Structure 1
């Protein structure tokens, strides 16, 4: 099985740069500076129209924690349905109980709305105190993969736990390291963890434009050359 690079893209230019660099899939979001939220309908539609690689969409109604009330879950279900109707390949979601366990009932409802789309359980997983139990819950839900840093600030710091999760998964679900994955560490992470899929934004900072006056702000955009380097490093690992 070949290794897969997923790029977290928070704009159409970033999504196009990810594809140009050779990424295999994107996770589409907006507001990357706060960890990402669900992108607009228009962004999803244009990404699907202009990309040939798989588009997964982040389902997250707001920044912050992952315990959602009934109104938030209704919004999330509606967003999942829109993604299904537009023809997205997958959605990226997660919900926890206030006690920090996988909210199985909430996730089951969202997954039911997803129909044939693939499901990635996102880094809400990293807020679970008992990751071994959380992984079993997520497998039972039927998710295809888990995006995780092993419960640490970066995947590199959490690489021992990531390796343990890969072992526990035993091929039943894919463990996808994310957070701080870079050209400096992706090969070592692959070798240490045994993971076959990796997630990163491969971003560069776009400086603020002074002409924007009061509304000037710097932002992140994916760098196609950086994506290409990451892909080459994964290819260099062979089978």
Structure 2
């Protein structure tokens, strides 16, 4: 039977160790929390990979802002993905849109193919697509295994009913991972509405970019 699991978004080395030591099943490694997470630098990724025994996904996002990229940025994303793949990471997190708010199937497919056989998560670019149902089908067809989403709202609490709807539409063809403002204080609300899944949180409770060990434990306890 499928069970709930926990992914912690880690913006530094300390958070990765805190996540592992306090029960996370996986981390998403990134930098620049204020930009919503960007590609981590290579040295950080090497250090974290050496220390972690739990699964580790790496975000491939060259900058903050929108999710449609220049040809040069796509080349950069591919190069980063190839370098990180050599380090033995477990998966990648990215998402490329067209300017009209649709999923760029060609570019996403190229990166998914490059990542193979590692699993890929389509990140919160999903929350700004024009048509969520169409985007869901496109993302599944591109070969992604997971969608990270707040339900197209500012946070998971606001998006709870959309998350429920998207998960039903997905019908076990892809994992719908709630993320965006998810904390121990609201995870029970989501669990009451959703089928078992991965939950995504930074577990940050102060003005730093580092996960709070007690918050990781608290979220874990609900799972």
Would you call these one fold, judging by a TM-score over 0.5? yes
Structure 2 match to 1:226: 215
2:48 alignment partner, SS class: helix
Structure 1 match to 2:116: 115
Contact 1:160–1:193 at 8 Å: present in 2 too?
no
Structure 2 match to 1:72: 73
Distance in 2, Cα, partners of 1:131 & 1:23: 29
Distance in 2, Cα, partners of 1:111 & 1:95: 11
1:6 alignment partner, SS class: strand
Say what the alpha-carbon RMSD is for the aligned residues.
0.9
Structure 1 match to 2:181: 180
Range with greater deviation from structure 2 (110-119 or 158-167):
110-119
Q: Deviations over 1:14-59 (max 9, x none)?
A: 1000111100000000001210100010111111100110010000
Distance in 2, Cα, partners of 1:191 & 1:205: 27
Contact 1:143–1:173 at 8 Å: present in 2 too?
yes
User: Normalising by the residue count of structure 2, what TM-score does the alignment of the two structures yield?
Assistant: 0.97
Structure 2 match to 1:146: 147
Show structure 1 runs of 4+ deviating over 3 A: none
Distance in 2, Cα, partners of 1:195 & 1:34: 29
Contact 1:176–1:195 at 8 Å: present in 2 too?
no
Contact 1:190–1:196 at 8 Å: present in 2 too?
no
Unaligned runs of 5+ in 1: 207-218, 235-239
How many residues of Structure 1 are paired with residues of Structure 2 in the alignment? Answer: 222
Shift of 1:195: 4.7
Structure 2 match to 1:237: none
Distance in 2, Cα, partners of 1:44 & 1:55: 10
Distance in 1, Cα, partners of 2:91 & 2:192: 27
Superposition map of 1:61-210 within 5 A: 61-205=62-206
Distance in 2, Cα, partners of 1:52 & 1:187: 28
Contact 2:154–2:180 at 8 Å: present in 1 too?
yes
Contact 2:12–2:31 at 8 Å: present in 1 too?
yes
Q: Deviations over 1:201-226 (max 9, x none)?
A: 001336xxxxxxxxxxxx32011111
Shift of 1:193: 2.6
Distance in 2, Cα, partners of 1:179 & 1:10: 15
